[in-house]
Chain A
Amino acid sequence: MWIDIIEVLAKGLTLVLVLSGCAAYMTLCERVLMARMQLRLGPNRTGPFGLFQPMADGIKLIFKERFQPAGADTLTYWLAPAIAAFIAFFAFGLIPFGPSFEFMGREINLYIADVNSGILVILAFTSLAVYDVVLAGWSSNNRYSILGSIRGTAQMISYEIPLGLSILSVVLAAGTLNLPGIVEAQAERWFIWTHPIAFIIFVICSFAETNRAPFDLPEAEHELVAGYHTEYGGLKFGMFFMAEYINILLVSAIAITFFLGGWRGPGDLPVVWFAAKLAVFVFFFMWVRATLPRVRYDQLMTFGWKILTPIAIANLIVTAYFVLV
């Protein structure tokens, strides 16, 4: 009993620390990568190769003034960044990073929770991510924020549908809702080979779900200052920022688990393979951000409802046919 609790706490603590570190260094990575793609040097002053830049950024954010705009709704204003960070961290508890192994006579699983219907929990929690956008935009009493949060809500709800449908076809093929079970089902062949259309839909939707370019309308800097977090500064802004990066990691981890065989790969290097696949995905996110311009709002909605959703439904029906027959 006690040892179980200690195990879960230890795993959770490790996960939170590793994820925060990853998010911090993803900012550096993104800045350097984007700089290189734009023929610039990027941050290289703080420490060797600019490696201390995330720490400097963090210290700067911590020492910012504690600020709240006039007329803001205090409780929701302070709650929104916490919701953002919490949801981003939470869903990671279900992702299997590797197979279970023996450690001091105990069998340790490389995931925190083995939920029977893990996919449902993940989908439910990623849907909750709408709330931090809504609450942040509404409570900060700023028209840019509310515009950003309205856009964000509509966008996230619209893209949740094709996202769920694309995952559903994987669920049909695997015959289970349990994440380690889905990884198990890909022992022979990754689902990306049998469900390429679902994979493409999932990747497109994950860009929209994480509010990243080219779907970064909720925080469009050029039109809405910073969208829903315009009025946030200091560590509250840092929370949103970290949540955004952890969300990138999260959707990448989900894509890896569902389509790219999870931790499986040649050789006996489960966690290494997971990290490598994650790195490729993160690079792809940054690459796309450096390339594609933001889509227009009506294009976004048209694309989501008139193109992605029908394709996802058709794909699901075809998958169901092949699974049944």
Chain B
Amino acid sequence: MKLQIGKFMSMLRGLLIVLKYAFKRPVTLRYPEKKRDLPERSKGRHHLTKWADGLERCVGCELCAIVCPSQAIYVKPAENTPDNQVSKGERYAADYQVNMLRCIFCGYCEEACPTGAVVLGNDYELAGYDRQSLIYTKGMLTEEKPGESGFDPNREI
């Protein structure tokens, strides 16, 4: 009998707790109009960054492609030549693709990269109407000017 009364009281308490929550501010947002402030280091779409002097950081080593758990990265390396010096190493990435449909934004590519070329930015609104448009190519990923994607171009890695 005492147990039953206890159960009944806990039911009433539950009702009151739910009522209390009705007066709290909802945690969801009116999304397209209001956006959540993301933490600075949250992981979104990739950027291929450059050094301060405008040379590309990526040396085409393919470590990112190897470490990627969902095999979302494709790197096609090519040799630098004296009259076509793209990066500071021997090679550079002639093509660099990230399949945003496969990427799980784990950030391993960023960890693996020896030159800090590939970094994950904050932009998370990645949607498209077909698969093709969600394979980001080198032109889409590389920043135009050094430091444009918000990462310091003078940082070591």
Contacts and interface: CB of A to CB of B under 8 A. Distances in A.
Same assembly: yes
Interface residues of B, number: 15
Contacts of B17: 291
B30 A287 contact: no
Contacts of B6: none
A37 B22 CA distance: 4
Interface string A23-41: 0000000000101111111
A291 B28 contact: no
Contact of B26 (A40, A287, A291, A292): A40
A288 B15 contact: yes
Contact of A292 (B11, B25, B27, B30): B11
Interface in A247-303: 287-288, 290-292
Given A39-B28, A40-B26, A41-B28, A292 B21 contact: no
Contacts of B29: 41
A35 B24 CA distance: 11
B24 A292 contact: no
Interface string B54-88: 00000000000000000000000000000000000
A38 B25 CA distance: 10
Q: Which DSSP category, helix, strand, loop or mixed, fits chain A's interface?
A: helix
A127 interface: no
Interface in B84-127: none
B15 A39 contact: no
B150 interface: no
A38 B19 CA distance: 10
Contact of A287 (B19, B24, B25, B27): B19
Contact of A39 (B11, B14, B19, B26): B26
A309 B52 CA distance: 83
A290 B18 contact: yes
Contact of B21 (A38, A41, A44): A38
A193 to B, nearest CB: 20
Nearest to B13: A291
Interface string A151-182: 00000000000000000000000000000000
A39 B28 CA distance: 7
Contacts of A290: 18
Nearest to B19: A287
A39 B30 contact: no
7 contacts: A36-B22, A37-B19, A37-B22, A39-B21, A287-B19, A288-B15, A291-B18
Given A36-B22, A291-B18, 5 more contacts: A36-B26, A39-B25, A40-B26, A40-B27, A291-B17
